Amino acid sequence: MRGKWSYEKKQKLVGFSFILPWIIGFGVFTAFPLLYCLYMALNKVNFVTDHLEMSFLGFANFRRALYEDAEIPNKLMQTFQQSLLIVPLIVVFALIMALMLNSKFKGRSFYRAVFFLPVMLTCGNLIATLTSQGQGSIDALQSGTAAALVAGIGGTLGETLQVVLDNFLVILWYSGVQMLLLIAGMQSINPSTYEAARIDGAGQWEILWTITLPGLMPFLFICVIYTIVDQFTASFNPILEVITHHSINISTGYGYASAIAWLYFLVILLVLLVVILIFRKSLGLAVNRKEKRA
């Protein structure tokens, strides 16, 4: 009995020692700043030469951001809508590309390398330069046929299409990591499952829906989360510009910037919750299957 107890205790110790270095770093440089930020959001913060001067305001900063500053709810909504459109697009695009890159054909590794290259180069500076010079969209796509097409469709659908075309390169360049993750996920599906399905007479389409996609669910979930984080925290985001602007602005102060940051944080959290709810069922199934297997 005593041996078992000490084994369990040892297990716990091992577990803690594995996470310790990371958790310390996380606590000091992420979790604590986050909470400190929340505290500042409740105050009016002034930088005096060598220390901070704070006076407690309660939720005044939040109220001001939501009710008085016309810019903030507007920008929040704008970011929210854009991401709502871009995130599924990136994931679906990455999925299609991954499916294509995973099917057997000559020169597959060449194509994989080509799509891997942008992943390596999406270094912040490069994307920033490109978007600032209007290279995020391709001129050829906008002029001529595409423009006519968009105008022809008109309405919301046309506008959506326009957004897609405008951000084509962004979608392309920000889907690299997702492609990588999805291809890795596809490799994890047992080839014999496919064989069995083919012997049972399943077509490509059926195999895609009944084997590949369910098997990919955990990886799709990772991709969606990654894309949301990537898009919402990209530094060219309009709301982050507002936050940066306010944090160095003396009249509004850092407290106000913190309040906006936390509001923004809550919005993203809401999106995250929705995603988890959507994936809960399929992920739960995957977990159950795993437990049964174990």
Partner 1 sequence: MQAKIPLRRKLHLGFRHMLYSLRHTRLSTVIILILLTAVALVSLLPIVYVICNAFKPLEELFVYPPQFFVRNPTMQNFTDFMYATDVSTVPFSRYLFNSVTVTLTTTALTIVFSLCCAYAFSKLRFPGQRALFDLITIALMFSPEAVVITRYLIVNELHIIDTFWAHILPHLALPMGVFLIKQFMDQVPDSLCEAAKIDGANEIRILWSIITPAVLPAVGAVLIIAFQNVWGDITTSNLYTVSESMKALPYFINSLTSGLTASSVARKGATAAAGLLMLLPNFIIFAVLQKSMIETMVTSGIK
Told to check if 294 binds partner 1 by CB under 8 A, we report: yes
Strand ranges (DSSP E) for the chain? 43-48, 51-56
**DSSP letter assigned to residue 103:** S
Told to check if 194 binds partner 1 by CB under 8 A, we report: no
Pattern 127-166, binding to partner 1, x per CB under 8 A? --xx--xxx--x----------------------------
Told to check if 193 binds partner 1 by CB under 8 A, we report: no
CA distance linking residue 45 with residue 64, whole number of Å? 15
CA distance linking residue 201 with residue 189, whole number of Å? 19
**Contacting residue, 208, 269, 274, 285, with partner 1 by CB under 8 A:** 269
Q: Which of residues 96-125 bind partner 1 (CB under 8 A)?
A: 97, 100-101, 103, 105, 107, 109, 111-125
Q: Of 149 and 154, which CB lies nearer to partner 1 in the complex structure? A: 149
Q: Of 58 and 134, which CB lies nearer to partner 1 in the complex structure? A: 134
Give buried/exposed letters for 147-184 (b at 16+ CB in 10 A, else e): eeebeeeeeeeeeeebbbbbbbbbbbbbbbbbbbbbbe
**Contacting residue, 6, 7, 16, 92, with partner 1 by CB under 8 A:** 16
CA distance linking residue 178 with residue 119, whole number of Å? 10
Told to check if 14 binds partner 1 by CB under 8 A, we report: yes
CB of 204 to partner 1, least distance (A): 8
Told to check if 44 binds partner 1 by CB under 8 A, we report: no
Told to check if 180 binds partner 1 by CB under 8 A, we report: yes
In the beta sheet, which residues pair with residue 43? 56
CB of 124 to partner 1, least distance (A): 4
First to last CA, the chain: 26
**Contacting residue, 3, 21, 152, 201, with partner 1 by CB under 8 A:** 21
Q: Of 154 and 290, which CB lies nearer to partner 1 in the complex structure? A: 290
Told to check if 177 binds partner 1 by CB under 8 A, we report: yes
**Contacting residue, 240, 252, 256, 279, with partner 1 by CB under 8 A:** 240
User: DSSP labels for 32-94?
Assistant: HHHHHHHHHHTEEEEEETTEEEEEE-TTHHHHIIIII-THHHHHHHHHHHHHHHHHHHHHHHH
